[in-house]
Amino acid sequence: FAKGDPAKGKSLSATCSACHGADGNSSNPEWPKLAGQGEGYLAKQLNDYRSGARVNAVMSAQAGLIASDEDVEHLAAYFASQKTTAGAGDKDKVEEGRLIYKGGKVSAKITACAACHGPTGVGNDAAKFPRLAGQHTTYLLAQLKAFRSGERANDAGKMMRNIASKMSDTDMDAIVEYVSGL
């Protein structure tokens, strides 16, 4: 996937940078890092905000201001081309997080996250599976809870809603610590 022009995306990114950081590494942990995220995944999220498939007060408004489908591709290409900074999580802190990420949790019927998000958390953009490595723990936890409550419902085939519905708060706390530290 490489549709957009990163240079054009950079020239469009000034308003985004206020929250997501000039290089896509946000400082506020409630705002996701976009740096190093898959281009196809980023474009899908922007289009989901534009169509209303994903709803967030701030981002629905922001995405609505993007002038064209081409500009979506350029913005996605720019942030995808940036390098993710290290996350705040500690992958060695919570063993339970590593176990669930790598092997799932059979007793709760949670499948391994690594199957889709990759053994090192970098995702698989051909399938639009997002990168999780280095992402803010606060943002990751908010998304898992939003999938669990159904507030976020833009995952094709309910892949994430099904998994999150089987996770306890303790499972989520452990996993986000692990993946943010990858």
Q: Which residue has the tokens 């507030």?
A: 151
Q: How far is the CB of 20 from ligand HEM (least distance, A)?
A: 5
Kindly tell me which of 66 and 122 has the beta carbon lying closer to ligand HEM: 66
Q: Is position 155 an interface residue for ligand HEM (rule: CB under 6 A)?
A: yes
Measure the CA–CA gap between 135 and 182, rounded to whole angstroms: 9
Please, which residue, 92 or 104, has the CB nearer to ligand HEM?
104
The helix/strand/coil state of 91 is coil
Buried b (16+ CB within 10 A) or exposed e, 15-25: ebeebbbebbb
Q: Which is nearer to ligand HEM, 56 or 85 (CB)?
A: 56
Decide: is 124 part of the binding site for ligand HEM (CB under 6 A). Answer: no
Q: Is 105 helix (H, G, I), strand (E, B) or coil?
A: strand
Contacts with ligand HEM: how many residues (CB under 6 A)?
41
| Per-residue contact string for residues 82-111; x = within reach of ligand HEM by CB under 6 A | ------------------x---------xx
